[in-house]
Structure 1
Amino acid sequence: MKEIPQMTNNESQKSYRHWIIGILLLLIPFTVAVYAYWPQYYSFTTTGEIVPMEEIDVNGSVNFVYVQEGVTRNRYEKYSVGLRDSEAEFTKVDSSAEDDLSTMLDFEEDRRNETIHYAVDSASEVISSPIEQDRRDERLQQLIEETSNYYGDSIGLMLGIGLVEEAMQEDFSQDGTIVIAGTGTLEEDHTVGSVGAIRDKLRTAEAAGTDIFFVPKDKETFMYPGLSNVEEAELSSKELHLKLQLVPVATLEEAISYLRQLPNPYIRSVNQP
């Protein structure tokens, strides 16, 4: 009969340490995964792009600006967004933020369609050339379809300018030598309404080499807490040392008048603060 070998104390301690090390090695990735993917919600805004009117089938030379907004559900998603844009701004929110964002996007789709409606009618009135109802409805539907990938109602002002350019065969960009962009709704009475994410829109426009940027002249009409659009734009322009020319406007007519009186050629150096 053979004798069963017995483990010495040293061997027993080594075996115990191996087990502990193995468990710890398994716990490390588990802990990291829990930390990275544990539910923790943040809303964010960051830069987007400027979009030429030609991309939505309008024969105009100006551009509208959109930014990116969303909700991250954990630290990993927040880190990924921050890695793409180190200046993305985050606000901690609760788990209902995703549903709130979905509701907001539905609301902003309705607002976008409304401001497109007003842009079409306002441009027609500015050029004193009303279009037939059937043509108007067809044009309106075409623009709604072309802009379906963009949310929010801040396209209104720039769309109105682009439609005036198209109808009057004007080119406010002076054959592409001036980059003109902006933001603001367009209301039924041709006034320019307030929008959000002004700072990120300015950063987006500056990065794209914009020369002239329209913002709502809303200091007296802003209805929300905090800075109006024009105040936020002026503050951001100073803080970010922007070279673009800020142009606050209250109506579509005011924007058109400003563009028509630009010197030709337009020299970007006049934009220096």
Structure 2
Amino acid sequence: EGDRAVVGITAGTDHTFPFDVDIKLADVGGPSAGLMFALGIVDKLTPGALTGGKFVAGTGTIDDEGQVGPIGGIEMKLVGARGAGAEYFLTPEQNCAAAASDVPAGLTLVKVRTIDDARTSLNKIRDGDTAGLPSCSAG
């Protein structure tokens, strides 16, 4: 055996954007804010308010393809969001069953798989067309 030199190569992805993104928000970190940060950027880059003034909360990781992934501690996030006044909660599809098992009164869960799903649902919420929103069901 003995000592030997090893050269490692790590594959990665780098993105070049036509603008700088610098997000600083106290006490928020980790990947579970990915969807909401991405929607915040979309809101800044497009005309009008994405939610039309409605109080929408949510969570979920997001990848560079726009796929929304699950997070941990969904139940506590629902309680916190409703306590802050949220009426709608964008919920990763893979967290739907857990979230739907104990939804705080007055909070509507909206199932999302992609950022496009989230944008479509936000347009419906903004326009007051909430009857057909994708929902979460328990178990």
| TM-score normalised by L of structure 2 | 0.73
Who is 2:66 aligned against? 190
Who is 2:46 aligned against? 168
| Equivalent of 2:116 in 244, 253, 258 | 253
Separation in 2 of the partners of 1:170 and 1:193? 27
Who is 1:8 aligned against? none
Separation in 2 of the partners of 1:266 and 1:195? 28
Who is 2:37 aligned against? 159
Summarize deviations over 1:38-59 as a string: whole Å, max 9, x none: xxxxxxxxxxxxxxxxxxxxxx
Separation in 2 of the partners of 1:159 and 1:151? 11
| TM-score normalised by L of structure 1 | 0.39
Deviation for aligned residue 1:257 = 1.0
Separation in 1 of the partners of 2:59 and 2:80? 12
Deviation for aligned residue 1:264 = 3.4
- Structure ranking higher in helix proportion: 1
Separation in 1 of the partners of 2:101 and 2:75? 9
Who is 2:101 aligned against? 235
Deviation for aligned residue 1:258 = 1.2
Structure 1 outlier segments of 4+, above 6 Å: none
| 2:68–2:92 CA contact under 8 A, matched in 1 | yes
Who is 1:103 aligned against? none
Deviation for aligned residue 1:150 = 2.1
Deviation for aligned residue 1:265 = 5.0
Structure 1's 266 and 209: CA in aligned 2 closer, same or farther, altered over 3 A? farther
Unaligned runs of 5+ in 1: 1-117, 122-129, 219-228, 268-273
Structure 1's 196 and 260: CA in aligned 2 closer, same or farther, altered over 3 A? same
| Equivalent of 2:28 in 150, 155, 158 | 150
Structure 1's 153 and 263: CA in aligned 2 closer, same or farther, altered over 3 A? closer
Separation in 1 of the partners of 2:114 and 2:102? 23
How many percent of aligned residue pairs carry the same amino acid? 28
The structure with more radius of gyration: 1
| Equivalent of 1:205 in 78, 81, 91 | 81
Across the aligned residues of Structure 1 and Structure 2, the Cα RMSD in angstroms comes to: 2.5
